[in-house]
Amino acid sequence: MSARLGLMNILIENADTHEYLTGDNLWTKIAAKGKHFLCTGAAFDVAKKAAIGKFNIVGYVAETRQLINLNQGRGRGLAEALAV
């Protein structure tokens, strides 16, 4: 018996609130509504510039609702983003 692995979407997760960045630059608790990135590098670049503190780059498998932590880092933070 072989398991079929569904497609994995790459998302940015706010590590403190466990919310996901949407395509409208808002935040949602629903992973399926998060903005999908083509690769972890693109998601990481966006997250590093975002007005958030700690973040995770996660893989989300919609079929099983499984989240896989792929990378982590720190964004610019709200105070830093407002100063620029």
**Could you report the per-residue pLDDT of 23-76, keeping only the tens digit for each?**
999 999 999 999 999 999 999 999 999 888 999 999 999 889 899 999 888 988
Range of the domain at 18: 8-83
Note whether residue 2 is domain-resident: no
Note whether residue 1 is domain-resident: no
Return the DSSP state at 2: -
Number of domains in the chain: 1
The C-alpha atoms of residue 62 and residue 55 are separated, in whole angstroms, by: 20
Please give the order of strands across the beta sheet that includes 8-14. 27-28, 20-21, 8-14, 54-61, 66-74
Note whether residue 38 is domain-resident: yes
State the pTM of this model: 0.81
Note whether residue 44 is domain-resident: yes
